[in-house]
Amino acid sequence: MKRRITFFQRPEAPFEANQAVLTSKSLAIRGLDAAREDRVTFGLDDLPQELRDVLQQSHELRLRWTTERSYDAVTPLASRVSPGLHVHYTPLAAEQTSEALCSLLRTVFGAGVDCTKPEDTFITPPLLSTRFAASASLQFYAQLPSLQPLVEFIQSSACSQRKVGGAECNKHASSLLTAETVDIDYDSISHALTVSTLWASAPNGGWTEDIQKPASGADQVEFGLLGAEPGIEPQEIKMGGLLAVVGQDKKMKPTMFSFPSRHHPLPNDAGYVVSFSTPTGLHPTMSISITPSGVQRPPAPSDATCALHTYLTLPSAVFGDQYQLGTSDPLFLESHNLAALRAVAGETDLEAPDWAVQRWGSNWLFELTTPSTDSLQSNWTATIPLHLRYLAPSESGYQTADVPWPVVFWACTAEDGTKMGVNPFDRTNLGWDGLFGPRTMFYQLHPKGEHLVESVDVPVLKLTGEGLFKAKNIELGTCIAILLGFLWVLWRLVRVSWSASVSAESRPARSADGHVKKE
């Protein structure tokens, strides 16, 4: 097992030498104000058998979970996905079908993960170009407000099997409940499972911990205390600080390095707010209100082409009309501040009720328009008309559909010679990054809200209550209407048949040559 612990300090955060003390057996951290990323790499032999069986059937399996709480992204971990659990999966065999992955997801993340079989529940992402090979072949999403089921799974499986460090393992597992993002990556080339966890801010009093030297010589703990600065080139990030390997190095080593990065954060005032116009009814409109600094061109190279985008993750209860949103009608697009619908994948059936939809939902990539002047004084708002599916009846007459906030970002083309493959902190397979070229740079806007999920009240059939339109009366009325309709159609058929027979009997007989016979 290999563990990498990296603290990212902001330029204004204080630091004293005694806050990070390295000895021959441990590293003592005291009151450190910084964001933190823990990255643990496991070999297949270190994993539970049920997890190992699924991974051995996978070409790649990548999970991205993000909290519903608002948090500040830290350089160089600036990329974002919508709140919830995102699964990107490519089976080892092209036609392989298996229920084991969905069974594992329900075991690890709880029964709220509505997954049966990948071929039925997952969606196929759009492939805009054969050059974009970064996307997995299948995608899945589930709203997951808490990682409590994952913590319980780790404690009952991995921690209980460890002969040494069980209490420490339980402590690290419980710390996931306060994390902002958790990434889990596996591919068949490395045969290793990597779990990356981010805490965007320090707890009260700062980080205080004693990191011990691993008991096994095969394990390794790397430590880094870094700060970020702008690079010489616009696409670069420069990092400097201290590095050490706990139990091997006698003192921390200063370091300075730079690398081109695909993801860059914009200033804190470049943000956006998501809301739904009320009353929503069955046709809600999503509003994305962007601050003036958020619609200004990002600090990309002057020869780069940049466009503002938003990427929506819509559960099955909410959907868009691809024919309406994919129009080229300038009047419609200008009225909503939309430039174009660039990609759509998933459930887009306009008529199916929610209980008839098997797959989890849909993804939508829009390019947004921006104002023609930089002297914008108020927020710039883009609106996206959506639709709600018919949901199951309820006693209150309403159901709730939870819609995660979309991500909003600038995408800028980089120079042809720019290489993007040397960033040690880069997050890939986010769902939307694979829709762009490999040298595209992204500049992330910051969501400005406490809770990054919008709840929409959906009117449904009311099961209880008094009055003419209660559920039982409607059900009885529907049956009566169907029965009356059937009887009416049957009566019309009988009447037509009877009229035809009477007409035939009253018609004069004709001879073989067609003349009417006279008696």
Tell me if 162 is assigned to some domain: no
Residues 238 and 310 in one domain: no
The rounded distance, in Å, linking the Cα atoms of 123 and 406 is 18
- Number of residues that this document lists for the chain: 519
**Structural domain total, the chain:** 3
Residues 406 and 305 in one domain: yes
The rounded distance, in Å, linking the Cα atoms of 222 and 418 is 29
Closest CA to 262 of 9, 6, 75, 37: 75
pLDDT of amino acid 416: 60
pLDDT of amino acid 163: 46
Tell me if 290 is assigned to some domain: yes
Cα 177 to Cα 38, 180, 197, 401, distances in angstroms = 14, 9, 11, 24
What is 409-425 written as a DSSP string? EEEEEPPTT---S--TT
Q: Is 196 exposed, middle or buried (0-12, 13-18, 19+ CB in 10 A)?
A: buried
pLDDT of amino acid 513: 54
Task: Give the strand pairing for 318-319 and 263-265.
Answer: unpaired
Residues 446 and 302 in one domain: yes
pLDDT of amino acid 131: 47
Tell me if 7 is assigned to some domain: yes
Bond before 279 cis per omega within 30 degrees: yes
β-sheet bridge partners, residue 446 = 271
The rounded distance, in Å, linking the Cα atoms of 300 and 234 is 6
Residues 419 and 484 in one domain: no
The rounded distance, in Å, linking the Cα atoms of 447 and 405 is 8
The rounded distance, in Å, linking the Cα atoms of 363 and 318 is 11
pLDDT of amino acid 130: 44
Residues 477 and 430 in one domain: no
> What are 363's two structure tokens?
């993804």
Radius of gyration of the chain measured on its C-alpha atoms: 30
β-sheet bridge partners, residue 223 = 5, 244
pLDDT of amino acid 327: 93
Residues 434 and 498 in one domain: no
Its sign, for the CA torsion 422, 425, 430, 432, is negative
- Range of 207's domain? 1-34+202-259
Tell me if 196 is assigned to some domain: no
The rounded distance, in Å, linking the Cα atoms of 389 and 316 is 8
What residue ranges of the chain have pLDDT lower than 70?
A: 94-97, 127-134, 161-165, 414-422, 464-475, 502-519
> pTM of the predicted model, to two decimals?
0.86
**Cα atoms found within 13 Å of the Cα of residue 502, Cβ hemisphere only:** 6
Tell me if 163 is assigned to some domain: no
The rounded distance, in Å, linking the Cα atoms of 177 and 169 is 14
β-sheet bridge partners, residue 255 = 241
The rounded distance, in Å, linking the Cα atoms of 108 and 303 is 47
